[in-house]
Structure 1
Amino acid sequence: MKIIDLHIIKKYLGTFAFMLGLLTLIVLIIDVQAKAPRIESNGFSVTEFLIEFYPYWIVNLIITFMSILVFISVIFFTSRMANNTEIVAIISSGASFHRFARPYLITSTFIAGVALLLNHFVLPRANVKKNELEPYTYSAKSREEYIGNVEVAAQLSKTEYIFIKSYNQKERRGSGFMYQKFDKNRKLTYQIIANEFNWDDKKQHFVLNNYLEKTVRTNDTEKLGNGDVMTKAFGHPPEELFPGVLLGQNKTTPELISFIDREKEKGNANLGNYLNELHQRTSMPVSVIILTFLGLSLASQKKRGGLGANLAIGISLAFLFVFSFEALKVVSKNQTIPPLLAMWLPNLVFGPVALYLYFKRANQ
């Protein structure tokens, strides 16, 4: 039976590697052709992007579609084994269906373990490189949302706020800066207004130009001050103070957890994107095991229509699985559904289905 185990593991990994390589090649060619005009219009060459962007983009692609590729791979090679009566021969030799499924469990657990490691520690480092250049593959309007001028309203703590009329995310400078601090009764105690500001990366502080400072004393009198230049540090760089949508992707899991905890201490309740990112890093690898057994249950019995019918079913279920994840991300972004539940819901639905079909197939 060990020979058969190695045979199945080899088929599993071989088919998965082939599917992975084929998808990567096809998607890479299509993506480069589609984005080349935008890349070149932004002053870059396609060659630069092939070296400095696409290797990290491919890592993201592999992780995103890993569970789906596993599912289709299992259906593909298991259907071929069923059509060639290999599975009938194995079961007829005295092995139970549970014993036949053991190499599927071993291989899927191995892939899930690798995916967990990549998701929590490797992918965020790749995303840092990917996200630096990815805005230059977008349209001008979309690119502006990531590296252009935006309006900012940030909560630094339960009593401190920053408002910026126009902030350039790439250059880390802007205009219309206002910092306010309140007491526990929500009464303004301190305020700074500056016409312009910029972040000094070397000295790790903000430089405020043409500022007006106001301090409200306990007797409600005000002390006013102004000047040309003031330096002010708020404890973190702009990326942390004014976090964007992509910030969560760039942090390893320990860093992301620390960031979420810090934002909760500030009183920031708008953490749906970051919580989705955190919980998805574990739920997606677990789906590899679930979809492996779902694919095994669907494809291990020879049926009318053969490989084509099984692949059609597999691709349909894969599309449903991916669509449900993306739809739940949108719903949980504003925490209509708790992000933890949203990112685990597909597994909670597909898991019992896979378990039911597996035992049904095992008892036939």
Structure 2
Amino acid sequence: MLKIIDRYIIKKYLGTFSFMLILLSVVVLVIDVQQKIPRIENAKLIDPKLDLTYFLIHFYPFWIINLVMTFLSILVFISVIYFTSRMANNTEIVAIISSGASFHRFAKPYLITSLFIACLSLVINHFVLPWANIQKNQLEAYTYNARNKEKVLGTAPVSAQLSRTEYIFVNSWNKGEKRGSGFVFQKFDKNRKMTYELKASDVLWDKVKKQFVLSNYFEKTINKDDTEKLGNGPELRKSFGHNPDELFPNELLGQNKTTPELLKFIQRETEKGNSNLNAHLNELHQRTSMPISIVILTFLALSLSSQKKRGGLGINLAIGISLAFLFVFSFEALKVVSENKSMSPALAMWFPNIIFFPIALYLYLKRANQ
């Protein structure tokens, strides 16, 4: 009898969740496309192939994956609130408990289903989502407004720390074309004394040979006796061990890496002395904390909606939606706090779970003991 009920609840859980997932994807896709059509039309002026059809095939499927994984916890929470409230209003839960099953036994299929979704989400977050983000991020800048597009594809000064003694500065670097002007590379000894300097009027990334092409270069080597060796020429090809996206990373770079790749990148940047890694550390910790929140929010939703209330489904959904958006808002707010170095990334990305877990546990035990 209980196994039949388990299958019934799991079917309800997955069915409602799937419906919510499809509904959110379709509604948000239609709204976003309508909003961004003018910007897509502008992109077509830059490259004729970048029309709406191209974006629908090469951008939006991957954008939807990112969107779904961002709001997966909310979808689970509202889904559980919805179908459990309906079961409570139809007195199905009362009938199950009255048949001799404990509330803990009734909650078993909720645990099984939430763990299944959480494990699937972990795999997607750590290995599949980065692949989708690579496809998405290649075109996403064309859907931004002019100001944000300039930040991603425009020209700006950049710098990189190759190691604790090696630095690169480019006075004007175009991120889209991967070319710039006013290039400087400097190397120092352990006493912070410059030992080598390389300057060039222009710099270009050759993606075929994976080298930087320096035009009108001038180099200076400073010997231990303070004598200098000078050199210059029309062109010099040089590799600094990384491509421009690695040398001049933005916050999207972490999204594009699988977790093993991201861990290596963070370790390498830490060894170089780069302390501005909180955005990437946030990405790393969020990939695990968000799936764990699926289990926590499932039991919070079960505790809130498994008892028939005055106001019924409507009041439960109102409470659920409010709590769900508070949960997601707290993640986004804590990201900003962490990136400003006011809180460690690990604490920031796990803080909502730390707060919601005891609340969910208390409400669950309270409901189980009624």
What interval of TM-score do these two structures reach, taking the shorter chain for normalisation? Answer: over 0.9
Say whether 1:138 aligns with 2:144.
Answer: yes
Say whether 1:195 aligns with 2:196.
Answer: no
Aligned counterpart, 1:23: 24
Say whether 1:165 aligns with 2:148.
Answer: no
Q: Distance in 2 between matches of 1:235 and 1:49?
A: 33
Amino acid at match of 2:167: Y
- The one of 75, 81, 84 aligned to 1:75: 81
Aligned counterpart, 2:114: 108
Extract unaligned runs of 5+ from structure 1.
Answer: none
Report deviation, 1:334.
3.0
- The one of 280, 287, 304 aligned to 1:281: 287
Q: Distance in 2 between matches of 1:246 and 1:324?
A: 21
Q: Distance in 2 between matches of 1:336 and 1:218?
A: 43
TM-score by length of 1: 0.99
Amino acid at match of 2:33: V
- The one of 280, 300, 303 aligned to 2:309: 303
- The one of 265, 280, 305 aligned to 1:259: 265
Q: Distance in 1 between matches of 2:156 and 2:14?
A: 46
Aligned counterpart, 2:342: 336
Aligned counterpart, 2:354: 348
Aligned counterpart, 1:215: 221
Aligned counterpart, 1:11: 12
Report deviation, 1:224.
1.7
Aligned counterpart, 2:47: none
1:63 alignment partner, SS class: helix
RMSD, matched Cα: 0.7
Amino acid at match of 1:150: A
1:348 alignment partner, SS class: helix
- Cα deviation code 1:230-256 (max 9, x no counterpart): 111111111111111100000000000
Aligned counterpart, 1:361: 367
Q: Distance in 1 between matches of 2:204 and 2:297?
A: 50
- The one of 46, 52, 55 aligned to 1:49: 55
Q: Distance in 2 between matches of 1:20 and 1:153?
A: 42
Q: Distance in 2 between matches of 1:292 and 1:181?
A: 55
1:192 alignment partner, SS class: strand
Aligned counterpart, 1:153: 159
For the 8 Å contact 1:270–1:334, the answer to whether it is kept is no
Report deviation, 1:135.
0.4
1:344 alignment partner, SS class: helix
Q: Distance in 2 between matches of 1:185 and 1:330?
A: 36
Amino acid at match of 1:30: I
For the 8 Å contact 1:68–1:318, the answer to whether it is kept is yes
Q: Distance in 2 between matches of 1:337 and 1:244?
A: 20
Say whether 1:96 aligns with 2:102.
Answer: yes
Report deviation, 1:170.
1.5
For the 8 Å contact 1:82–1:88, the answer to whether it is kept is yes
Moved beyond 3 Å, runs of 4+ = none
